[in-house]
Structure formats: C-alpha cells, structure tokens
C-alpha cells in the first residue's frame, strides 16, 4: 500500500492556528485586510511556516480562472535597456506571486509568432512598449488589462501609461549645449514611428528655437550603429556650414556617429560635441565617454508592473513621470572658434 502523503494542507494550518480554512485562504492570498485581524494573520502565517505549508498555486489559479502570468512586449532585445525593464518588472511581479513572460517584437519585421494559442486565456495582463505596439493586435493583447510604456497618455485609450520624463531629458541636453555656446545643431533621430521619439524631436526643436541665432537640422537613421554611421556621414558631407553639436536619440546612434566622425577626420568634442540618451554600458565604452541622459530601466519596469497590478485590483496607477538625469562626460565642450 502506498504511503499517505504527509504534505500539510490548509486544513492543517487552520487547525494549528485555530481559525477557519477560509481565514487561511484570505491570509495566504494576501486578501485579509479588513476581513481578519492583523494578529490572526500573523498567527496563520506562523502556523504555515512551522508546518512547511505551501499553497497549491496551480489548483488555486485554475479555480479562480487566473494564471498570474503577465506578458512584457518589447522591441527586439538588442540593448540592455529592455533587459533592465524586464528585471524591474519581474522583481515586483515575484513579490506578488506573478510571473513575467518576455515577448520580443523584432524591429522592421513585425511581431514574432504568437507564443500563446489564446493570449486572453493564458494571460492576466500585458505591459507593452509603444515601440512594439503592433504586436498587441497579433496576440489580442489590446483586449486584456494593459499598461503602455513610453506612450502618449492622451492617445492610449483603454490603457494605463507609464513614462520616463523624456521631455525634461531633452530639455537638459539642450540647456547644456546652449550653455556651452553651441548654436548649430544636427539631430540624429531614430527612424522609428513612436511617440517617445516624436516627443524628443518636438522638445529639441522648441528648446533650440528659443535661443537666438540657432539652426537645427534633422537626419533620420535606423537604431543601429551602421545605420547611424551612414546617416551621419551623409548629413555632414553636404555643402554648407557644419553643425557644432550632434544630438542623438539614443546611445547606439551616438556610437555610430562616432565612427562617422572619425572617418571624416573630425574630433569629439574638438570639432563637434555629441550627446546620447539611455546611458547604456556603451556610453562609457566609447572614447571620449558619452554625455547622455540616464534612464532608470529597472525602475521603469517596476513602475510598469505596479501600474498593471493597480489596474488588476481596480485602483488608479501612479501617473507621475519617472525623473531622468543628464550625465555630462567628455563628449561635449564649447564649440571650436570660428
């Protein structure tokens, strides 16, 4: 005869704590507040710990109709930024008994194959970067509780939004370069149809336009080092007065611009100052080290997951933008003398 399992049950916990099984369920499901006393909750947790009790989450989720699984939809995993977003989101998710599945939507080729036969049946909610928003339709993710990252708070109906304060980041870049004396600017813009890049272009034009005697030209490039190198070479080889400051939409574009400037025989920052945005590890790997805007990717992911938890619980998410910081390094200096 097979030995009877000695694994403790919720009934064992209830008996040890002197409460009902319903009270055990409330406490271990973190839904006890306002329904049982704090003393009772502590007694239940202590009994569960001493007995070595572990709830059967699979059975619980099946009974409740939830998988406690969240999908994080991001562009192709080509930089550590989105790895940081995942790390932050997964940390908060784990604290609340959720798991996070990554779903990359490769740039330029549309969304990857749907990883779920039915996303609505397999997921409790979705966190998505606006850069990968096209993937939502493929997995019907826009019909689930949804949080959009880097997205227009007034243009994402039905979704909560979490944003970094990119506007202030660009404002800090412009103030820094104008303060150094720069008046001729080139904007190396990401060739990606995304709200966050529209914000960068709009804010840069506004801040540069406020200063007298300034010019701003824009050239677009795919977010790749080779694409940025080609676009920068083309822009700086045109006839006319050369810009003294190059503002890049992200650090990878700045790295490509560095290669172009070296090929053209130009020095950073002696002939032209360069700024980036993200503060990736790449920013301190290139020489001179890059002046860039630091974005806290892990905090971004944490706030995204916290917002989704709020949506799932019927609460209003925090709508404050996440602060960013300009980090000044060796790639910016006053413009060369005429």
The answer, yes or no, to whether residue 105 has pLDDT greater than 50, is yes
Output the CA–CA distances (angstroms, integers) from residue 32 to 48, 109, 307, in the order listed: 15, 47, 22
Output the CA–CA distances (angstroms, integers) from residue 60 to 31, 83, 117, 181, in the order listed: 14, 30, 22, 64
Residue 108 φ/ψ region, left for φ over 0, alpha for ψ in the -120 to 50 degree band, beta for the rest: left
Q: At what angle do helices 38-51 and 21-28 cross, to 10 degrees?
A: 90
Residues 89 and 138 both lie in one domain: yes
Residues 177 and 289 both lie in one domain: yes
| Confidence category of residue 76, pLDDT binned at 50, 70, 90 | low
325 located within any domain: no
Residues 86 and 152 both lie in one domain: yes
CA 65 to CA 39: how far, in whole Å?
30
As to burial, measured by CB atoms within 10 angstroms (0-12 exposed, 13-18 middle, 19+ buried), residue 303 is buried
Give the residue with greater pLDDT, 75 vs 289.
289
190 located within any domain: yes
327 located within any domain: no
Residues 172 and 186 both lie in one domain: yes
Q: What average pLDDT score do residues 310-331 get?
A: 91
pTM for the full predicted model: 0.76
CA 305 to CA 300: how far, in whole Å?
9
In this prediction, residue 179 carries a pLDDT of 98
Residues 220 and 310 both lie in one domain: no
Structurally, how many domains does the chain consist of?
3
Domain boundaries, position 49 = 10-55
Omega before residue 269 within 30° of 0, cis = yes
Secondary structure element (H or E) that encloses residue 161, with its range: strand 160-162
Number of separate helices (H) and strands (E) present in the chain:
13, 11
For residue 291, give the nearest of 274, 269, 268, 272 by alpha carbon.
274
Residues 174 and 291 both lie in one domain: yes
> What are the tens digits of pLDDT across the range 9-35?
878 888 999 988 788 877 877 677 777
In this prediction, residue 154 carries a pLDDT of 80
The CATH number of the domain holding residue 17 is 1.10.260
> What are the tens digits of pLDDT across the range 54-74?
665 444 443 444 678 888 988
The CATH number of the domain holding residue 126 is 3.40.50.2300
Give the residue with greater pLDDT, 41 vs 279.
279
303 located within any domain: yes
CA 115 to CA 102: how far, in whole Å?
10
Residues 155 and 187 both lie in one domain: no
Secondary structure element (H or E) that encloses residue 49, with its range: helix 38-51
For residue 125, give the nearest of 327, 337, 314 by alpha carbon.
314
Give the residue with greater pLDDT, 107 vs 237.
237
């Amino acid at each position: 005869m097979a030995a009877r399992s000695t694994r403790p049950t919720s009934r064992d916990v209830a008996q040890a704590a002197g409460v009902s099984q319903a009270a055990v369920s409330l406490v271990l499901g973190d839904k006890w507040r306002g329904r049982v006393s704090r003393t009772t909750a502590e007694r239940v947790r202590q009994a569960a710990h001493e007995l070595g009790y572990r709830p059967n989450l699979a059975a619980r989720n099946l009974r409740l109709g939830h998988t406690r699984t969240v999908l994080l939809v991001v562009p192709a995993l080509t930089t550590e930024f989105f790895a940081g977003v995942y790390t932050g989101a997964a940390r908060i998710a784990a604290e609340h008994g959720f798991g996070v599945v990554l779903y990359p939507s490769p740039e330029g080729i549309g969304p990857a194959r749907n990883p779920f036969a039915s996303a609505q049946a397999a997921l409790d909610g979705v966190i998505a970067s606006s850069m990968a928003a096209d993937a939502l339709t493929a997995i019907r993710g826009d019909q689930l509780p949804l949080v959009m990252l880097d997205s227009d708070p007034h243009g994402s109906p039905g979704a909560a939004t979490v944003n970094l304060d990119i506007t202030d980041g660009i404002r800090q870049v412009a103030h820094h370069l104008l303060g150094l004396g720069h008046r001729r600017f080139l904007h190396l813009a990401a060739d990606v149809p995304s709200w966050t890049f529209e914000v960068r272009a709009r804010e840069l034009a506004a801040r540069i336009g406020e200063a007298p005697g300034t010019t701003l030209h824009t050239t677009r490039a795919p977010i790749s080092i080779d694409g940025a190198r080609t676009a920068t070479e083309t822009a700086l080889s045109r006839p006319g007065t050369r810009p003294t400051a190059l503002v890049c939409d992200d650090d990878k574009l700045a790295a490509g611009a560095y290669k172009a400037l070296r090929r053209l025989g130009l020095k950073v920052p002696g002939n032209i100052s360069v700024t980036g945005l993200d503060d990736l590890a790449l920013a301190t790997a290139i020489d001179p080290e890059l002046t860039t805007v630091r974005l806290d990717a892990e905090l971004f992911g944490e706030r995204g997951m916290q917002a989704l938890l709020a949506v799932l619980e019927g609460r209003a998410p925090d709508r404050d933008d996440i602060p960013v910081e300009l980090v000044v390094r060796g790639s910016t200096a006053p413009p060369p003398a005429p």
